[in-house]
């Protein structure tokens, strides 16, 4: 029997101008707005303790900062932290919510914004919980169109591995991985109120660049869907996107329409965000009317801890790592003998080495699970590679499984085993050893079993 109740709310979370912009190792400060940043909340209940699913237009936040916001939401709303599933859309044109070691930014401005954001999120939770209505849920799996997503790691003809190599580089050989073009769609129809549709797909929200605040392609997806479908609100939740970008390294036809090549060799512009967002909105529209409706008589949230080994540096590598870190923090990247993504890679690797110079030797990662009837969301606190999402989806006994990146905090990249041998930005900057791949997949399977009990 269906006993599902669903509430929904959305708030604006735009920052003040001048705040540091998240997303790169280079300093950026907000100079204006391309479009609004928003946070949405879905409240879910089957008569017991409600669960909150929150999606915010933020690049990422540490586990500590995420816990701060979830604790405040829990205190205000009266629900437990464990029942708050908080994801970020990973837009690379959003404000810092805490100080960063990547560049100097005004900590007072960041603190002021974080306080504002905390209150906004608390209000959002209250609004969603007050909006609970009888509802039914449907689901479908669509297929993303071509030309919006590409594996961004490549084997080069000289045997090296590069993330985001230069456009038309003759040294590019082949991509290291395969895309998962499945688009998970959840639809909630509520009595006497708007329907809600959720898109879950793995693709970096990094199609714009610059110093203008924007929700990137998730904002375009939401706006396009809501213009096309009366009485519908849209939410976007990142899938396993750690190795997926929007740049075609051998552009042809109209690939370069309304775009340009950024400092990190990627195709970026407001036009790219529009293109990707509209294309994914089209995928939603293709399946929206044909979702399979199912009864929901259970809503449950759980967490599961997995322990992974730390990628502790070789002492012989530390002198150069400290040198690169010092040059970077002094704003002297031009003295580091690399450019574009190769520069980003060595800087990120150096920062990782310095941070782990004195340990720890392991990390505890918290996976978050959310059950809605026979549909499960698996929250991962960082950026898993596509193959991790593919393996998680193989768990049997569920109508649909949604791997969700950047959930309840950000703990870095989670590459495949092979990626650690191959190299590239994500693996070289990762805090973990290669068995993190198996740890997360096994942990997700254990979490899914617990959710079914």
Model pLDDT, residue 26: 85
Do residues 242 and 338 both lie within one domain? no
> Dihedral through CA 15, CA 61, CA 175, CA 260, nearest 10?
10
Do residues 105 and 157 both lie within one domain? yes
Do residues 344 and 446 both lie within one domain? no
Model pLDDT, residue 290: 98
Do residues 196 and 252 both lie within one domain? yes
Rounded Cα distance between 139 and 292, Å, is 5
Model pLDDT, residue 195: 98
- The answer to whether residue 306 is domain-embedded is no
Q: Which one of 358, 392, 424 terminates a domain?
A: 358
- The answer to whether residue 406 is domain-embedded is yes
- The answer to whether residue 307 is domain-embedded is no
| Residue stretches of the chain with pLDDT short of 70 | none
Model pLDDT, residue 263: 83
Write the secondary structure of the chain as one string of H (helix), E (strand) and C (coil). Answer: CCCCEEEEEEEECCCCCCCEEECCCCCCECCEECCCCEEEEEEEECCCCCEEEEEECCCCCCHHHHHHHHHHHHHHHCCCHHHEEEEECCCCCEECCCCCCCCCCCHHHHHHHHHHHHHHHHHHHHHHHHCCEEEEEEEEEEECCCCCCEECEEEECCCCEEECCCCCCCCEEEECCCCCCEEEEEEEEECCCCEEEEEEECCCCCCCCCCEECCHHHHHHHHHHHHHCCCEEEEEEECCCCCEECCCCCCCCCCCCCCEECCCCCEECHHHHHHHHHHHHHHHHHHHCCCEEECCCCEEEEEEEEEEEECCCCHHHHHHHHHHHHHHHCCCHHHCCCCHHHHHHHHHHHHHHHHCCCCCCEEEEEEEEEEECCEEEEECCCEECHHHHHHHHCCCCCCEEEEECCECCCCCEECCHHHHHHCCHHHHHCCECCCHHHHHHHHHHHHHHHHHC
- The answer to whether residue 308 is domain-embedded is no
Domain of residue 331, residue span: 313-358
> Checking phi first, is residue 251 left (phi over 0); if not, alpha (psi -120 to 50) or beta?
beta
Do residues 109 and 242 both lie within one domain? yes
Q: Residue 360, preceding bond cis, omega within 30 degrees?
A: yes
Count the domains in the chain. Answer: 2
Model pLDDT, residue 340: 83
Do residues 284 and 325 both lie within one domain? no
How many residues does this entry show for the chain?
453
Do residues 235 and 353 both lie within one domain? no
Do residues 19 and 35 both lie within one domain? yes
Rounded Cα distance between 211 and 262, Å, is 13
Rounded Cα distance between 58 and 61, Å, is 8
Rounded Cα distance between 138 and 160, Å, is 45
Q: Are strands 212-213 and 32-33 parallel, antiparallel or unpaired?
A: parallel
Model pLDDT, residue 418: 95
- The answer to whether residue 107 is domain-embedded is yes
Model pLDDT, residue 339: 86
- The answer to whether residue 114 is domain-embedded is yes
- The answer to whether residue 387 is domain-embedded is yes
Structure tokens at 59: 């690049």
Do residues 187 and 292 both lie within one domain? yes
Model pLDDT, residue 101: 73
Do residues 271 and 389 both lie within one domain? yes
Do residues 395 and 293 both lie within one domain? yes
Do residues 327 and 448 both lie within one domain? no
Closest listed residue to residue 302, CA positions, set 370, 356, 243, 232: 370
Instruction: State how far the alpha carbon of 153 is from the alpha carbons of 262, 328, 363, 372, 429, in Å.
Output: 17, 24, 26, 35, 14
């Amino acid at each position: 029997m269906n006993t599902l109740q669903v509430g929904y709310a959305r708030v604006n979370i735009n920052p003040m101008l001048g705040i540091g912009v998240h997303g790169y190792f280079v300093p950026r400060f907000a100079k204006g707005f391309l479009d609004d940043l928003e946070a949405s909340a879905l409240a879910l209940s089957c008569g017991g303790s409600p669960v909150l699913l929150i999606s915010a237009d933020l690049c990422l936040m540490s586990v500590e900062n995420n816990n701060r916001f979830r604790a405040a939401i829990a205190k205000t709303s009266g629900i437990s932290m464990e029942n708050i599933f908080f994801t970020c859309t990973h837009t690379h044109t959003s404000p810092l919510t805490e100080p960063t070691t990547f560049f100097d930014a005004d900590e007072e401005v960041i603190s002021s914004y974080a306080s504002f954001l905390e209150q906004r999120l608390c209000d959002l939770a209250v609004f969603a919980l007050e909006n609970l209505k009888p509802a039914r849920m449907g689901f479908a799996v669509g297929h993303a169109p071509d030309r919006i997503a590409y594996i961004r790691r490549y084997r080069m003809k000289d045997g090296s591995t590069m993330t985001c190599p230069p456009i038309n580089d003759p040294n590019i050989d082949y991509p290291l991985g395969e895309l998962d073009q499945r688009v998970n769609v959840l639809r909630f129809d509520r009595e006497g109120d708007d329907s809600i549709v959720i898109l879950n797909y793995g693709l970096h929200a990094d199609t714009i660049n610059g110093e203008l605040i924007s929700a990137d392609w998730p904002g375009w997806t939401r706006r396009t869907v809501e213009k096309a479908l009366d009485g519908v609100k849209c939410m976007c939740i990142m899938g396993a996107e750690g190795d997926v970008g929007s740049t075609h390294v051998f552009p042809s036809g109209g690939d370069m329409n309304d775009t340009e090549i950024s400092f990190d060799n990627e195709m970026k512009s407001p036009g790219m965000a529009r293109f990707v967002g509209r294309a994914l909105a089209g995928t939603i529209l293709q399946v929206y009317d044909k979702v399979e409706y199912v009864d929901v008589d259970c809503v449950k949230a759980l967490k599961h801890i997995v322990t992974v080994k730390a990628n502790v540096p070789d002492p012989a590598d530390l002198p150069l790592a400290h040198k690169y870190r010092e040059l970077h923090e002094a704003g002297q990247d031009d003295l580091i003998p690399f450019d574009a993504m190769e520069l980003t890679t060595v800087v990120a690797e150096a920062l990782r080495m310095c941070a782990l110079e004195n340990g720890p030797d392991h990390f505890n990662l918290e996976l978050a699970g959310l059950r809605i009837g026979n549909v499960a969301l698996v929250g991962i606190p960082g950026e898993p590679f596509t193959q991790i999402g593919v393996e998680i989806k193989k768990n049997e006994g569920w109508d649909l499984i949604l791997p969700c990146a950047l959930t309840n905090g950000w703990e870095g990249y989670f590459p495949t085993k092979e990626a650690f041998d191959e190299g590239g930005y994500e693996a070289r900057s990762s805090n973990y050893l290669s068995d993190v791949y198996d740890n997360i997949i096994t942990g997700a399977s254990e979490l899914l079993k617990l959710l079914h009990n």
